[in-house]
Structure 1
């Protein structure tokens, strides 16, 4: 049986300048069901799931037929049936659009009532990085190349809005919920691009992913409650959890991500309040959690009643044919708190992030956000809205992913050529870093010191381990370095190890 996956191009009627994100439809050409019925059912399912929102512009019948590789009359027949059932409607000289779906609530993946306890906030009244210097090769943790971001477009738009705002005297203090049109187009982008079903009352915008994680920990955790996380893992997240008095539990991980079978063993012996994970690209190992473990994790969450924080920082940097949808896009009972950010799409200074969760939890989180500070950068928010609406960010993402995919292959080749005798590694499916595991015991402190003397900086990986066991790995980011720097750095590592 042949399966054809195509992308339905979607452009909202409310935001007509928002560029096209794609949702896969599947057709089977085995003859068991007419093709027009398959098209009708696939579009209906996407409408009910909320991924084709009300007033979304549908592709023309010729365009869709070309993408599906079927006769145009087949698409026309499917559209006619959807129009007759009220799932689509037409506007004269504008096209076909999605009608409001009355029964979409049963597909909601983020509920209004959180199934876990949390602290309610109400409003009543790290290793020092070396300075940048000429000739320094710095293998970071996996940051993007700021030269690939749409910085010229952002600064140009910012300047235009600044001048217009001054002329119209619209400078004023804003609330912490961010500029409403930006909120709407950002949420629309998350829903369409990542398969989420988030409404404005289930999203809180924050200044950066770290701030979002800190706020979630403040609202969610109490002293002595247990947080489970992969080992090795993210030391910054551990410090945040410990700052509110939480305890940590180490979960094994491998090339398939978090070992949920080991997590289940821990759950049988202790009460775990929260599981922290980045399933798309686990830090620091870059492993992607398998479909089976994702389903198992959600099942365990329902059974044992713990919350899940899903850190989705590298979603755009996926190199396979089809990225995994986030845990928050899968059917669940409201356990998943989703954190993402635009910081990697608009480096190096842009810090806008978002936290998605159940509506009552988000209300408390927004109250805490207001306590922290009320004034945002309204000009930057206006500029970002324009970049999303005009498709500038989407274009920059496509361009940068192609660039990083080629660079990833190049790094794989030089690692194999220079370091194969010393390390083992997997080519990452996502993200901007490689995780290298040494085949033999090695004095990492001495290695890093000698590299620094030769003008090469790599972060000490010791802090990514729960215990005092000497680390046997390195994490090297490749996004921000050019090919010459990458080869020179890897070759220097090999020379020192060989000596």
Structure 2
């Protein structure tokens, strides 16, 4: 005969018939909790399945399935003619107070130490507003999504399924992707590559992290322009490198400052966005480009060239990358389709000498065994058939129109409080607000009215503290841009 205490424990088990979790699993969960909370001890005999079914008003088979589940996990033992018992092999749990026995979804704190100071805080915000002047994202409506979908589907239905799905491939990316990227870059950027110079990556940040992990040692000096991209700089700091910022002007990073540093200390790498400097969008002038390459050859430092939006240059043809003039293998060139198609697509590439790619691939295998070969092959297909090139020409025209319209709005409606230059390319305007305006307060008010844009805090440094931010135009329609400026105008004027 069961004790009144045991019968009370089982009679208090609650069954939720509207819960998606099967009833027998709900019962097994409750019994397990009684064991873990010390309410049922080792070798404790349980009421029979018949008795429990009566207490809970469920079918006896349901209770038997709950017992079987716990037996399979080792929590219960069943003996013919004797009944079901809490396993004799489990330790004795200390009884917990009633309030401590409540099951909470999602543990908040780990039982082990987490060294938060190892990483700089990488804050992020996902806006949900209808309108946005973002950091310079493309309009996914312009992207060839249907063509990419068909190409991806083709990869799933064509022959060679074992090669695609049955085994791991090369960590540097699918051969088809690397070959198509090589041809694409040679044709559009005047690079001189083969597939052996290409490494498939999941976006620019992965490329930066991989290079820092593979080629940067603690104490190495990395130089970049200020203001710059803090996500990149945080990677430098995590690699325990010494980061030195040099100023930029309307013609990009000031090369004389870099040369002064090189004369005093050994520089391992220079990170640069020469096509459209992030965040100010200025282009690195040709004489500075050539001088940067000369210094790299003289002092032996790596140039990490982040060419995040090469295709979108409006006033003339895009300036060719530094990598196109690199004859000594000093440049690691990085590109991504995130700024061409959508940030949701994590597809990119690193370009470097063969021995560097082999080394990066060897390290990459520890992080990401091989990437997504199926998606890579789909992208290769629409690169090879000219889809990407046609999309780029179309999107360039759309974004050019949006840039001109947006800049005319800024000048005509907000010209008294915002100073800016019409960008030669890219997807944003670098806008400097009057000093007496509180950008944080303005962005908060705008967001409450359905418009998101950055308060510019991520672009501030001890040596650079302008009241400025990036206002993206490419991802918004003409009508959306009008609505956005109207909201901003009503706030600041």
TM-score w.r.t. length of structure 2: 0.71
Does the CA-based 8 Å contact 1:345-1:393 persist in structure 2? no
Match of 1:484 in 2: 479
CA distance in 2, matches of 1:210, 1:220: 15
Task: Show CA shifts across 1:450-491 (max 9, x none).
Answer: 222222211232222332764410101111111122122223
Alignment of 1:78-89 (within 5 A): none
Does the CA-based 8 Å contact 1:175-1:370 persist in structure 2? no
- Between 464-473 and 427-436, the greater mean CA deviation after superposition: 464-473
Partner secondary structure for residue 267 of structure 2: coil
Alignment of 1:76-155 (within 5 A): 126-133=122-129, 136-155=130-149
Residue number among 217, 223, 240 corresponding to 1:222 in the alignment = 217
Task: Show CA shifts across 1:74-95 (max 9, x none).
Answer: xxxxxxxxxxxxxxxxxxxxxx
Match of 2:15 in 1: none
Does the CA-based 8 Å contact 1:206-1:369 persist in structure 2? no
CA distance in 2, matches of 1:191, 1:469: 38
Match of 2:388 in 1: 393
Alignment of 1:122-271 (within 5 A): 126-133=122-129, 136-165=130-159, 171-173=165-167, 174-271=169-266
CA distance in 2, matches of 1:450, 1:228: 37
CA distance in 1, matches of 2:334, 2:433: 32
Structure 1 residue 169, shift from structure 2 partner: 8.8
Task: Show CA shifts across 1:98-124 (max 9, x none).
Answer: xxxxxxxxxxxxxxxxxxxxxxxxxxx
Match of 1:301 in 2: 296
Partner secondary structure for residue 286 of structure 1: coil
Structure 1 residue 400, shift from structure 2 partner: 0.4
C-alpha change, 1:376 and 1:273, in structure 2 (3 Å) is closer
Does structure 1 residue 373 correspond to structure 2 residue 368?
Answer: yes
Residue number among 338, 356, 360 corresponding to 2:351 in the alignment = 356
Structure 1 residue 425, shift from structure 2 partner: 0.8
Partner secondary structure for residue 301 of structure 1: helix
Structure 2: gaps spanning 5 or more residues: 1-121
Structure 1 residue 381, shift from structure 2 partner: 2.5
Does structure 1 residue 339 correspond to structure 2 residue 351?
Answer: no
Does the CA-based 8 Å contact 2:192-2:324 persist in structure 1? yes
CA distance in 1, matches of 2:156, 2:197: 30
CA distance in 2, matches of 1:368, 1:161: 28
Task: Show CA shifts across 1:307-357 (max 9, x none).
Answer: 111001111111132221100001442211111122233324322211112
Partner secondary structure for residue 165 of structure 2: coil
Structure 1 residue 268, shift from structure 2 partner: 3.1
Alignment of 1:38-57 (within 5 A): none
C-alpha change, 1:248 and 1:466, in structure 2 (3 Å) is farther
CA distance in 1, matches of 2:428, 2:163: 46
Partner secondary structure for residue 271 of structure 2: strand
Structure 1 residue 374, shift from structure 2 partner: 2.0
C-alpha change, 1:200 and 1:386, in structure 2 (3 Å) is closer
Partner secondary structure for residue 171 of structure 1: helix
Larger-gyration structure (1/2):
2
Partner secondary structure for residue 402 of structure 2: helix
Partner secondary structure for residue 415 of structure 1: helix
Does the CA-based 8 Å contact 1:250-1:466 persist in structure 2? no
C-alpha change, 1:375 and 1:265, in structure 2 (3 Å) is closer
Does the CA-based 8 Å contact 2:181-2:198 persist in structure 1? no
TM-score w.r.t. length of structure 1: 0.71
Match of 1:421 in 2: 416
CA distance in 1, matches of 2:161, 2:227: 53
Structure 1 residue 163, shift from structure 2 partner: 2.7
CA distance in 2, matches of 1:469, 1:167: 54
Match of 1:321 in 2: 316
Does the CA-based 8 Å contact 2:137-2:474 persist in structure 1? yes
C-alpha change, 1:481 and 1:183, in structure 2 (3 Å) is same
Deviation >4 Å, runs of 4+ = 165-170
Structure 1 residue 496, shift from structure 2 partner: 2.2
Match of 1:61 in 2: none
